[in-house]
């Protein structure tokens, strides 16, 4: 790893909740001895080592997190991924990460993460806090998908999106509404009705394949009903 990449990696990691308490010099020393950088072209799937799971840091570029064809979220420069599955012991992830543009990723293998947490208990505490937040997030998702109406399921999916347009409005790319209906576990007719309902209330706007949130407060209100 060259010095420019190293400087960028350390600076980006220190901006994350996971590594905000790390000592820059100690972090740099550890990264120099055990991290790996991978380069991906547009359309490539991110592929860390299955033999040694790792946390990934997006140094540059942009990537989509997908489940099947559905885009779950979008990763930008400085985003971390892989923390949830780091110690899972499973060879495959439930989602796939695909480069939207040329990207560079720093991988921090499990062995190196264990060493960093052993040396700095705050990193370990931040990691536990991150996993706890994910549990709450997934619990809310399960509640919405098992007990909610088509409207509440769609509202939850839209509100959870990390994609934003040029006006900083959240949106979901729906290349195929049948796939989105399957993702939400509802019928296509129910999805159409939910879309029509939120358009009528002014909560969303549909532009091509984008479903854009124009008033998130209305989605939140309806998501609780």
Angle at 98 between CA 116 and CA 167, to 5 degrees: 95
Can you give the CATH number for the domain in which 64 is found?
A: 2.60.120.10
For 28-70, write each residue's pLDDT tens digit. 999 998 899 999 999 999 976 555 789 999 999 999 888 776 6
In angstroms, the CA 159 to CA 125 distance is: 28
Domain annotation covers residue 20: yes
78 φψ region: left (φ > 0), alpha (ψ -120 to 50), beta (else): left
Helical (H) or strand (E) element with 143: helix 121-147
Q: Final residue of a domain: which of 107, 130, 153?
A: 130
Same domain, 98 and 68: yes
Same domain, 19 and 60: yes
Q: Final residue of a domain: which of 111, 130, 149?
A: 130
Same domain, 148 and 178: yes
- Say what the pTM is: 0.66
In angstroms, the CA 67 to CA 141 distance is: 15
Predicted confidence at residue 224, as pLDDT, reads 45
In angstroms, the CA 22 to CA 19 distance is: 5
Number of domains in the chain: 2
Q: Final residue of a domain: which of 130, 162, 190?
A: 130
Question: Between the CA of residue 144 and those of 14, 94, 150, 184, 191, what are the distances in Å?
Answer: 34, 19, 10, 10, 15
CB 31 within 8 A of CB 89: no
Same domain, 28 and 121: yes
In angstroms, the CA 33 to CA 154 distance is: 45
Instruction: Name the one residue in this structure whose structure tokens are 């921090």.
Output: 108
For residue 86, the enclosing domain spans 3-130
Can you give the CATH number for the domain in which 208 is found?
A: 1.10.10.10
Q: Which residues of the chain have pLDDT under 50?
A: 222-225
Predicted confidence at residue 152, as pLDDT, reads 85
Same domain, 192 and 106: no
Same domain, 11 and 106: yes
Instruction: Name the one residue in this structure whose structure tokens are 């110690």.
Output: 87
Same domain, 115 and 160: no
Predicted confidence at residue 183, as pLDDT, reads 79
């Amino acid at each position: 790893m060259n010095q420019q990449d190293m400087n960028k990696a350390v600076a980006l990691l220190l901006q994350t909740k996971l590594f905000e308490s790390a000592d820059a010099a100690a972090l740099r020393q550890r990264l120099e001895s055990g991290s790996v950088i991978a380069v991906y072209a547009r359309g490539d799937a991110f592929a860390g080592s299955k033999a040694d799971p790792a946390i990934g840091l997006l140094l540059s570029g942009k990537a989509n997190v997908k489940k099947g064809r559905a885009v779950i979220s979008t990763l930008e420069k400085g985003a971390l991924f892989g923390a949830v599955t780091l110690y899972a012991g499973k060879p495959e992830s439930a989602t796939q990460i695909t480069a939207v543009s040329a990207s560079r990723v720093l991988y921090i293998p499990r062995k190196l993460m264990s060493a960093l947490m052993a040396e700095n208990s705050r990193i370990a505490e931040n990691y536990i806090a991150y996993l706890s937040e994910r549990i709450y997030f997934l619990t809310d998702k399960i509640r919405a998908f098992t007990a909610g109406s088509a409207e509440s399921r769609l509202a939850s999916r839209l509100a959870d999106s990390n994609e934003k347009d040029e006006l900083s409005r959240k949106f979901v790319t729906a290349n195929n509404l049948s796939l989105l209906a399957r993702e939400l576990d509802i019928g296509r007719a129910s999805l159409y009705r939910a879309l029509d309902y939120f358009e009528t209330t002014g909560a969303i706007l549909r532009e091509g394949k984008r479903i854009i949130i124009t008033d998130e407060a209305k989605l939140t209100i309806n998501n609780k009903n």
